Amino acid sequence: MKAKLLPLAILFALTACGQTSRSQQVNNPTSQQADENICFADYFEDKTMRLDFYHCGNATEETYFFDELKEEPYFAGSYYALRDSFNYGNQRFVLLDKGTRREIYSFHYCTLWGEWQCTPEARTTSLGMPESVVFPYPKHDAIAQIWSRGNPHDPAVRKLHATQPWVLKFEYEIKAGNYFVRGFSPIYETQDIHVVGDPHTCLDIVLIPEGYTEGEREQFVRDCEYFASEFFRFEPWTSNEQRVNMRLVWAPSAESGVSIPAVGKWRNTAVKANYFTFDSERYQMTYDFQTVRDIAGHAPYDYIYILTNSDKYGGGGIYNFYGVGAGHDTHGTSGRVHVHEFGHQMLGLGDEYVEIGNTTSDQYDPAVEPWEANLTTKIDVSRKPWAQHPLPEDSLHGKSLPEGGGYLEHGIWRPYEHCLMNTLAYPFCPVCLQAVTDYLNYITR
């Protein structure tokens, strides 16, 4: 995590801090085709179960504490994309049918806690963040598991990466008929922004307001409409407009505006987001993911994006977690920022930019192949699905790949010189475009 502010022209969001070789897939689901053998209706009801917990620890320890099970009314996922084999991310959630120990649902994700674990503070402090995962509501006894790749800065973990990336960190038995699963009581209104199809076969984005008061609903709706119009200006979203739904949940804040701790500005807001996360001015995030989920659950969603009542350059996006961006656009960049952040959020695309003078990254180790689809250390470039793409001549042999990415000047290469994951001035490069499209095809089938 870098505390310095990048130039406005360079995008800023930070993805997760772990890396591993894509060739090491121990304990991973076998293949996407295996989903065909799982009939959704045999195992699940068409609504969501949410598992709340606390993600705790420090630079070398990672622990989970159970909090609560909740029921949410909508399941927006595909009936057929039940087991994720993309192997992105630093965390892996698995649901096993208890009777057969069969994996019936899984996905990968990253967390803000995982980024915090790479900060200097984690070497001297232990900290817990409220987190949760959601999954289709199991009909029978099931076992929830959370696996982790661990902190890549821990020498023991780094060594482990070479042989077995996933470590089981948490297990919880879900009993069918447990009457302590908290029911859902809606308290917020929702509104369609762009709704074109069945949530089970569409990508569903829920937009959440941060720092908009009761009287600022119209402003929030305008900011949501702006988000949608900018989003669909970029491929692959332009040509997939009929596969994407967007809805808002109207959760007003007590006070207007955003919190900026370094200037003593605090606001009482819906999801408690602030700039200066990990001392990085532009990094606007919230530690309280459970409160974010409480709001999001009012609408069907696959992805949560928070729009903040601000035009201050900032935001962030974490893979399968949530995204944040300033709602107003006075610099002419917010729309591109949203699409960039969504690249992090949807499938964990890495930042392709360089922080000048940066020789040691908090998040990337040149000795380990990153799992991100768009970055390589050349340790295992052959495993990247780049062979399908019209890369510059010889680039697959590593001769002409542009060097620099993942904040590092040297030791990490990106597939193309220019990309939206690098600078705001460009669309996605062909590799990122293909990675997003592949992922979209998976989650909407």
Residues lying near Zn ion in the complex (CB under 5 A): 374, 419, 421, 429, 432
Cβ closest to Zn ion, residue 153 vs residue 384: 384
Which of residues 258 and 349 has its CB atom nearest to Zn ion in the complex?
349
CA 357, CA 150: separation in Å to the nearest integer?
Answer: 27
Question: How far apart, in whole angstroms, are the C-alpha atoms of residue 62 and residue 395?
Answer: 38
Distances (CA, A) of 434 to 389, 406, 441: 8, 19, 10
The Cα–Cα gap between 147 and 154 comes to 17
Question: Rounded distance, CA 37 to CA 157, Å?
Answer: 34
Shortest approach of Zn ion to residue 370 CB, angstroms? 13
- Nearest in space to 376 (alpha carbons), one of 428, 419, 413: 413
Nearer to Zn ion, 220 or 386 (CB): 386
The whole-angstrom separation of Cα 325 and Cα 314 is 6
Residue whose CB is less far from Zn ion, 325 or 343:
343
Shorter beta-carbon distance to Zn ion: residue 208 or 429: 429
Identify which of 287, 261, 427, 266 has the alpha carbon closest to the alpha carbon of residue 343: 427
Specify the residue, 129 or 432, whose C-beta has the smaller distance to Zn ion: 432
Amino acid (1-letter code) at residue 299:
A
User: Residue 91 CB, nearest distance to Zn ion (Å)?
Assistant: 23
Residue 128 Cβ, how far from Zn ion at the closest point, in Å?
A: 34
Q: Give the amino acid at 168.
A: L
- Rounded CA-CA distance 128/272 in Å is 16
Minimum distance of Zn ion from residue 125's CB (angstroms): 35
Shortest distance, CB of residue 232 to Zn ion, whole angstroms? 19
User: What token pair was written down for 137?
Assistant: 């509501």
| Closest CB 359 distance from Zn ion, rounded Å | 23
Residue number, 145 or 374, with CB nearest to Zn ion = 374
10's tokens: 């360079």
Distance CA 434, CA 119 (A): 32
CA dihedral 207, 209, 214, 215 (to 10 degrees): -90
Tell me the closest approach of the beta carbon of residue 110 to Zn ion, in angstroms.
18
Q: How far is the CB of 317 from Zn ion (least distance, A)?
A: 15
Smaller CB separation from Zn ion, 143 or 424: 424
CA distance 82 to 63: 26
CA distances from 251 to 71, 110, 146, 213, 220 (A): 19, 25, 30, 9, 10
Q: How far is the CB of 332 from Zn ion (least distance, A)?
A: 22
The conformation of residue 280, written as its DSSP 8-state character, comes to: B
Hey, how many other C-beta atoms are within 10 angstroms of the C-beta on 2?
Answer: 17
Question: Is the Cβ of residue 121 or residue 403 nearer to Zn ion in the bound state?
Answer: 403
DSSP letter (8 states) at residue 325: E
